[in-house]
Amino acid sequence: MSAADPSEFVDRFAAFWSAPSPDRLDEVLGDRVRLVTPMTPDSATLEEARASFAEIFELITDLTGEVRRWGATGDGVLIELTLSGRIGGRPVSLDATDRIVIGEDGRATERISYFDPGPLVLTALRRPRAWPGLVRSRLRRLRR
């Protein structure tokens, strides 16, 4: 797949988010990939991305995503999706838009995610069961 044919990438992206796992990130992300997302440190490699996603999946259990719509850009795609999961046992969902640059191997070389993290933070703060995961995430970030 090339950047000129993004539909195959979007299919893999949607399949990934139907049952996401840090171990499956190489299905959509290249080895050298720049990730920018609210609430997590920027990452530049697949291994850093796996660490960030592991933290996210620890905080937001049962996290899945559903692609709502997408469009091709000159070097990749814009994807609108709804992410849903549970924080401290309480349901949470948010809408996000990802701007993705697709490399020659058909995997993302850059992903910038745009969403309002406020609902996630408020839900986590209201759920004491979520606090240990939130604290662990913050401590890991301080160690980096």
> pLDDT tens, 26-45?
999 999 999 999 888 899 99
In the three-class reduction of DSSP (H, G, I as helix; E, B as strand; rest coil), residue 24 is classed as: helix
Using the CB atoms, write b or e for 110-141: b if 16+ within 10 Å: bbebebeeeebeebbeebeebeebbeebeeee
Over residues 4-16, the pLDDT tens digits come to 589 999 999 999 9
Structural domain count, the chain: 1
Q: What is the pTM of this model?
A: 0.86
Quick check: is 64 in a domain? yes
Residue 105 included in any domain: yes
Tokens read off for 26? 């190489």
Note whether residue 42 is domain-resident.
yes
Give the DSSP H/E element, type plus range, for residue 83: strand 76-87
User: Which element (helix H / strand E) includes 87?
Assistant: strand 76-87
Q: Is 60 part of a structural domain of the chain?
A: yes
pLDDT of residue 2: 43
- The parent domain of residue 113 ranges over 7-143
Q: What DSSP element (H or E) covers 127?
A: none
State the DSSP code for 4. T
Looking at the domain assignment, is residue 2 inside a domain?
no
97 inside domain: yes
Q: Is residue 11 part of a domain?
A: yes
* 21 within a domain of the structure (yes/no): yes
The CATH number covering residue 104 comes to: 3.10.450.50
